[in-house]
Structure 1
Amino acid sequence: MKKTPRWARWIVPLALLIVWLGIGGTLGPYAGKLGEVATNDQAAFLPRNAESTQALEARKAFETSPSIPAIIVWTANGNPVTSEQQEAATRAVTALVGKPGVAAPPSPAFLSADGRALQAVVPLATNLGEEIPAVLEEVRQAAQQVTATTVQIAGPAASQADLADAFAGIDGLLLGVALGAVLLILLLVYRSVLLPLVIIISAVFALGLACAVVYALADRGAVRVDGQVQGILSILVIGAATDYALLLAARFREELARQDDRTKAAVAAVRRSAGAITASAATVALGLLALLASDLTNNRALGPVGAIGIACSVLTTLTFLPAALVVLGRAAYWPATPKPADATAEGHNVWRRIAAMINRAPRRVWMSTALLLAVLAGFSSTLSSKGVPLDEIFVNEAPSVSAQQTLARHFPGGSGNPAVIITNVGKAAEVRAAAESTDGVAAVTPVTATGRPGTGDPLVVDGRVRLDATLDAAADSDAAKETIQRLRDEVHALPGAEALVGGYTAQQYDTQQTAARDRTVIVPIVLGIILLILIALLRSVLVPVLLVATVALNFLATLGVSALVFEHLLGFTGTDASVPLYGFVFLVALGVDYNIFLMSRVREEALTHGTRQGVLRGLITTGGVITSAGVVLAATFAALMVIPLAFLVQIAFIVAFGVLLDTLVVRSLLVPALVIDIGPRAWWPSALARPMAPHVPDSAPLLGDSKP
């Protein structure tokens, strides 16, 4: 057979490198452009079919022009507000009429019941985007003309400005922190100069391609992106691309230790690792796509965006990285250059000792680790996911939160965020009376022809009227949500009213209920998807069931630890309603990754050496690389903590801690010990379940160890 010319074997690697350099140079800038097509309008991420969403659509007809309220609060430094100050406040906001960004005439300034604060509402245009901080600053300057008072701005407009500030520079800051952490870890672990740089470049190329695809789809309205999705995409791609690259690079190193031909080594590395990498990617991508079954728009948005990122990560790992490794050869690992040897006999001493410990007492190991996880899982029920109070949305001090707290001290708790009731005009009086008699409702005011709540005849649009109900309790409190339930019961009971109850509190309540529904639907779908992929990869039923059970236990243990940390260390009273679902999808899908990497290698070794030796050899040969991958992924998700939002800080902790727990305990101890204890039956119903299937007896010594 004629040998392939040396020059011919370089064509494909060089061509792939040229293609990826072109992709990186052309599409790389899109990693910093997603903000152009991102929206942080929280109204766009409500439950699609909830009553509050229907009310939001219906209330638009009562707005003379679309607006978002900015609520100005004046306090007289602990002193009673004078009539002169009240008149000056009204003049100040009246002067804002016609100013850029002001959508309608502001309300007059009115006095609080305790006489120590003033409040006025300035309706701002909804399409201000990045200009909203500048418009709010102009509003603030006008309000500061009232002498001897402190001015603060609350309401949805102020919250939107603080969100924009929190996400400002997210592309550069988040990407820099994540890549810096990954590079540092790789340099410390692998003590190689070029390999970490090649892996980082591979991850950056994957991110650039993913962001370009998402940008094109978002620009055409095919997918929706907000700051949270944008941040998670960056972290997910960097973490996944690095994980897959580490697995392939480790396999390439093994092959180089067996043979001198770098091209054949790369081909063998791709062939032997592609199954585990693609199966791992499929679990994450399909798990994310399961979010399409959610009724929350932001959950649905993350599904396809995240799946695109995972697909791009796999693409760079199986094309760019092998080409780069072929070109670099052994130099990629310098100064720790692999030397010709029996790669199967290699393994870090730490992992040899761990394997020996498991080999001596597998039942004791898996029972003790399972008990530890079960104890931690017992605290998971204490994690509250009823939503994050307004004063905890931002990790640091946010002006809108301070203003809302001031507002709540001097006005009814629900001031600025009333419950909105849309009903038929013929039943308006009855609905108003029913609402006013509802426990927890402070006042009910119709929207008049001015487009604002006030006295006079209500504005009638298509036979419907709008009533604003101010609640006694703070709009983000559990008491307010309970009031919404009572209010709905009262107005729904009126025949012919066809009343809808919406507003901020109703939206929070509906989101909470929808998130609970999503968990009951999506969790079984994700588990089913992962189970089917594992069955196809491992050609077994029992092992996949065990793996799914262990990662589910790891998830519950992580929630238990998170409940303790959030309450006692970080001071959170609860989590966003979607946090447990996000944590589940990421942890279960990503946690199965490491078990896939381990068990696919175990199966490969078991075909030759038997189940016990297959587990021990698989653990030793993959222990270092999988642990490195877990630490890298934990570090990349931890980078989300640089964004001062409780939601992302909570997700970052859950995923980072859960990945480390899975990598260091579940994959390293629980799974290997459990499979050894069960023995060949773990592979049922495949041929490996038969004791005589392996070519070498199951009692073969552990990689040359004298003990069986």
Structure 2
Amino acid sequence: MPWAVLALWVAVIALAVPFAAKLADVTRDDAVDYLPGSADSTRVQKLVEDLPGGDTVDIILVHHREAGLTAADRELAREQVAEIAGEYELKGDATPQVVPSEDGTALMTVMSITGESGEERRIEAATGIRDGLGDAPEGLSVEVGGAGALEADMDAVFESIDGTLMYGTAAVVAILLILTYRSPFLWLVPLVVVGAATFTSQAVTYALVQAFDLTVTGLSSGVMTILIFGAGTDYALLLVARYREELRRIERPYDAMAAALRGCGPAILASAGTVTLGLLCLLVADMNSSNGLGPVGAVGVVCALVAMMTLLPAILVLLGRGVFWPLVPRHGAEPSQRRSLFAVMGTSASRRPATVLITGMAVLGALAIGMLNLPGTPAQEDTFTNKPESISAMETVGEAYPGSNSQPITVMAKSDAADTVLAEASRTPGVADVEKGRSGDGWTEISVFAEDRPESAGEKETVRTLRADLHALEGAEALVGGDTAQRIDEADTNSDDRWKVIPLVLVVVLLVLIALLRSLTAPLVLIVAVAASWGAAMGIGGLVFEPVFGFSGVDASLPLLAFVFLVALGVDYGIFLMHRMREESLKGLEVPDAALKALRTTGGVIASAGIVLAATFSVLATMPMVLMAELGFIIAIGVLLDTFVVRTYLVTSASLLLKRWVWWPGRLFHTQGTRTGPRGGPRASEAPDGVPDERPVATRQEVG
């Protein structure tokens, strides 16, 4: 049987690898892939792309010399602008207008290039313009900004993320597995299986793109990689720990693995189920980036689960006990009896469980107050952790042209009402200038320039006023879009999505927990616990994002995504703990004894799993996109809080206080306290204080 499973996986990987390599070719990072599906700005973006010449590549060419531009600088600028105008088709065939700054230090040229339909061609155009400028004379900076240059810079970031994220995560997981297992061989097995799951998930995702036109972005692809490594390694740690335990009781590795799968299999299945279903809840979100992330992440988790429940057991059984060398678990050997860290934690929680619970919740509540200090929605230039050329160019424009606005608000209106819309827009408070653009398929593009700077509070108010005024025009069907309108729609839609997705996630996770634990009280305890972890982690983010990391904004999707991941992933450790506690209760232990026993027996492996998951998301925090960095930080902090504070102290102390009520209204609630059997006295395999040592310390039998 193990050989058959291995052969099947070899065939699956051979089939998957060619298709996995194609996933990068269908990954999309168009603006509409990160916008709300039903928003005005999204409809504008799609209509603009359908106009003659396709979507425009908006470029701002900035020449700047701190001491003032020379005649040679101005001549160079004129030649470069003429060269670009001769090579590309400009919107309206207009000659680009060069605007000098009042202080004489800068020249700004705004160009809209048409005829470059599709993301790839737009990026090639912006990159080609940038590369064609050549080296500037000493003291003169020549930079390319605007939406087209920003898109090119974002594409370069996403291209660099795939390999960096994959190799960085693999390295982190490998180091942690070596430290955990202290074996020169064992760490390789989970890593190989994770690799197999990664290729499989990429191939499956590519198939879904072809079959159902699933949208895969750089963000969703990166998160899928993190989930496979993080969740997959967690499942491996739990299974290997239980397999080691069974090898001491059962002679044949095959039978020991079967017992291990029976013992921890339900917990792993429930864990993967909560993550998968929690991610699929994102399908109800209107934000395209959140909506698309759900199924992509779910594919990764399911592939990781299947690999860890089939391929990992097969390889371990075929390798036999020797894979654990030098700490080989011998049949009949007893684990060394030492007082573990989690035994100490459990004992401290059992002395004053009410005090521990109240204090812990108070601390988490205090940390959650830090959410009030979270910075607002970031401007477009604040989406990077570094400063690419497109951002540097716009900063130069902001300094040299204070109060100016070179970024248009795009209005789309029915062509037969275009003049009426143009006249109404020109009368709108806050509007400095209005230009009629291209027409096609019954629609006309109108560019509106606000008096205030891009994405400022003043320009946002102008956008809202425009929408109110233009929507009131009968028959015009006017839509207001553009970069600032997109930021407004993203913030509004993410707020609406939170009210839809968060309750759905809570209900779905609660139902999975009820099915696993046969209780209502225990699942509610776990839900409250992970929600507290999320609040505390977000509060810590509020305390450090701007003062420490210098992030001037929090992406509007962060609270929702962090909640989904922390609830779905964080509840895993509660599942592992509560499932073992239920198992011990079924064996005859009362709840207080079962809770402490579960903490002692699962504490080490769950701590290792929590550290691995936090470390993998920490890799995400090193990426050059602010959303990725913030998401990675919040989830890593939340997982660590859940692992070492919430699960260890709060869930355990709550169980000690609730006693048999933790299993209400299930069968265990009615049978607890009525047994005549043992109530958790020390077993033969336990130390005098009833604490088995979970650390893999080699005995003479194991080494010999």
Q: Same fold (TM over 0.5)?
A: yes
Cα distance in structure 2, aligned partners of 1:329 and 1:609: 33
Q: Shift in Å at residue 694 of structure 1? A: 4.6
Cα distance in structure 2, aligned partners of 1:188 and 1:148: 52
Q: Shift in Å at residue 430 of structure 1? A: 5.1
Q: Tell me: CA distance 1:370–1:346, structure 2 relative to 1, closer, same or farther (3 Å).
A: farther
Deviation string for 1:423-461 (max 9, x for gaps)?
3556555544543443433322222xxx4xxxxxxxx55
SS at match of 2:36: coil
Q: Shift in Å at residue 222 of structure 1? A: 2.6
Maintained 8 Å contact 2:431/2:449: yes
Name the counterpart of 1:660.
Answer: 640
Equivalent positions of 1:368-379 (< 5 A) are: 368-379=359-370
Q: Shift in Å at residue 360 of structure 1? A: 1.8
Cα distance in structure 2, aligned partners of 1:170 and 1:195: 29
Q: Tell me: CA distance 1:350–1:163, structure 2 relative to 1, closer, same or farther (3 Å).
A: same
Q: Tell me: CA distance 1:45–1:177, structure 2 relative to 1, closer, same or farther (3 Å).
A: same
Deviation string for 1:76-131 (max 9, x for gaps)?
4442676x866764553333356379888574132146254231315161336288
Is 2:396 the counterpart of 1:406?
A: yes
Q: What TM-score do you get using the length of structure 2 for normalisation?
A: 0.90
Q: Which moved more, 1:164-173 or 1:502-511?
A: 164-173
Q: Shift in Å at residue 274 of structure 1? A: 1.2
SS at match of 1:195: coil
Name the counterpart of 2:36.
Answer: 47
Q: Tell me: CA distance 1:300–1:429, structure 2 relative to 1, closer, same or farther (3 Å).
A: same
Cα distance in structure 1, aligned partners of 2:457 and 2:18: 44
Which of 344, 357, 376 pairs up with 2:348?
357
Name the counterpart of 1:308.
Answer: 299
Equivalent positions of 1:425-440 (< 5 A) are: 428=418, 431-440=421-430
Maintained 8 Å contact 2:80/2:133: yes
Name the counterpart of 2:84.
Answer: 96
Name the counterpart of 1:514.
Answer: 493
Which of 598, 613, 616 pairs up with 1:636?
616
Cα distance in structure 1, aligned partners of 2:426 and 2:125: 39
Name the counterpart of 1:560.
Answer: 539
Name the counterpart of 2:60.
Answer: 71
Q: Tell me: CA distance 1:632–1:30, structure 2 relative to 1, closer, same or farther (3 Å).
A: farther
Maintained 8 Å contact 1:75/1:81: no
Which of 364, 383, 394 pairs up with 1:393?
383
Name the counterpart of 1:586.
Answer: 565
Q: Shift in Å at residue 163 of structure 1? A: 1.3
SS at match of 2:13: helix
Equivalent positions of 1:566-645 (< 5 A) are: 566-607=545-586, 608-645=588-625
Cα distance in structure 1, aligned partners of 2:370 and 2:176: 32
Name the counterpart of 2:455.
Answer: 476
Q: Which moved more, 1:17-26 or 1:91-100?
A: 91-100
Deviation string for 1:385-417 (max 9, x for gaps)?
x53222321111210100111223344767442
Name the counterpart of 2:702.
Answer: none
Name the counterpart of 2:196.
Answer: 205
Name the counterpart of 2:310.
Answer: 319
Is 2:492 the counterpart of 1:502?
A: no
Maintained 8 Å contact 2:59/2:126: no
Is 2:270 the counterpart of 1:279?
A: yes
Q: Shift in Å at residue 326 of structure 1? A: 1.0
Equivalent positions of 1:164-203 (< 5 A) are: 164-203=155-194
SS at match of 1:501: strand
Name the counterpart of 2:433.
Answer: 443
Q: Shift in Å at residue 634 of structure 1? A: 0.8
Q: Tell me: CA distance 1:346–1:572, structure 2 relative to 1, closer, same or farther (3 Å).
A: same
Q: Tell me: CA distance 1:707–1:61, structure 2 relative to 1, closer, same or farther (3 Å).
A: closer
Which of 645, 665, 673 pairs up with 1:685?
665
Q: Which moved more, 1:361-370 or 1:523-532?
A: 361-370
Maintained 8 Å contact 2:374/2:541: yes
Cα distance in structure 2, aligned partners of 1:267 and 1:628: 23
SS at match of 2:545: helix
Cα distance in structure 2, aligned partners of 1:469 and 1:272: 65
Equivalent positions of 1:224-303 (< 5 A) are: 224-303=215-294
**Paired-residue identity, %:** 36
Structure 1 segments unaligned to the other structure (5+ residues): 1-11, 452-459
Maintained 8 Å contact 1:92/1:146: no
SS at match of 1:223: coil
Cα distance in structure 2, aligned partners of 1:636 and 1:268: 30
Cα distance in structure 2, aligned partners of 1:706 and 1:203: 39
Q: Which moved more, 1:88-97 or 1:580-589?
A: 88-97
Q: Which moved more, 1:58-67 or 1:511-520?
A: 58-67
Maintained 8 Å contact 2:280/2:295: yes
Q: Tell me: CA distance 1:147–1:107, structure 2 relative to 1, closer, same or farther (3 Å).
A: farther
SS at match of 1:69: strand
Q: Which moved more, 1:609-618 or 1:63-72?
A: 63-72
Q: What TM-score do you get using the length of structure 1 for normalisation?
A: 0.90
SS at match of 2:641: helix
Q: Tell me: CA distance 1:371–1:148, structure 2 relative to 1, closer, same or farther (3 Å).
A: closer
Cα distance in structure 1, aligned partners of 2:228 and 2:215: 18
Maintained 8 Å contact 1:94/1:106: no
Deviation string for 1:359-395 (max 9, x for gaps)?
22222222211111111112223324x5322232111
Name the counterpart of 1:24.
Answer: 13
Name the counterpart of 1:7.
Answer: none
Name the counterpart of 2:372.
Answer: 381
Q: Shift in Å at residue 220 of structure 1? A: 4.4
Name the counterpart of 2:411.
Answer: 421
Cα distance in structure 1, aligned partners of 2:440 and 2:318: 71
Name the counterpart of 2:525.
Answer: 546
Cα distance in structure 1, aligned partners of 2:492 and 2:182: 50
Q: Shift in Å at residue 482 of structure 1? A: 2.6
Maintained 8 Å contact 2:53/2:117: no
Q: Tell me: CA distance 1:347–1:132, structure 2 relative to 1, closer, same or farther (3 Å).
A: farther
Q: Shift in Å at residue 695 of structure 1? A: 5.4
Q: Which moved more, 1:145-154 or 1:194-203?
A: 145-154
SS at match of 2:546: helix
Q: Which moved more, 1:589-598 or 1:386-395?
A: 386-395
Cα distance in structure 1, aligned partners of 2:469 and 2:613: 50
Q: One-letter code of the match for 1:111?
A: V
Which of 443, 448, 465 pairs up with 1:486?
465
Maintained 8 Å contact 1:294/1:300: yes
Name the counterpart of 2:696.
Answer: none
Name the counterpart of 1:532.
Answer: 511
Q: Tell me: CA distance 1:530–1:13, structure 2 relative to 1, closer, same or farther (3 Å).
A: same
Q: Tell me: CA distance 1:122–1:512, structure 2 relative to 1, closer, same or farther (3 Å).
A: same
Cα distance in structure 1, aligned partners of 2:260 and 2:529: 29
Cα distance in structure 2, aligned partners of 1:248 and 1:219: 35
Q: Tell me: CA distance 1:394–1:358, structure 2 relative to 1, closer, same or farther (3 Å).
A: same
Q: Tell me: CA distance 1:85–1:191, structure 2 relative to 1, closer, same or farther (3 Å).
A: closer
Q: Tell me: CA distance 1:360–1:67, structure 2 relative to 1, closer, same or farther (3 Å).
A: same
Deviation string for 1:470-517 (max 9, x for gaps)?
123332334432321122223334445432211111111111111110
Q: Shift in Å at residue 41 of structure 1? A: 1.4
Aligned residues: 684
Q: Shift in Å at residue 612 of structure 1? A: 1.0
Is 2:28 the counterpart of 1:15?
A: no
SS at match of 1:423: strand
Q: Tell me: CA distance 1:278–1:413, structure 2 relative to 1, closer, same or farther (3 Å).
A: farther
Cα distance in structure 2, aligned partners of 1:469 and 1:134: 24
SS at match of 2:84: coil
Cα distance in structure 2, aligned partners of 1:122 and 1:523: 41
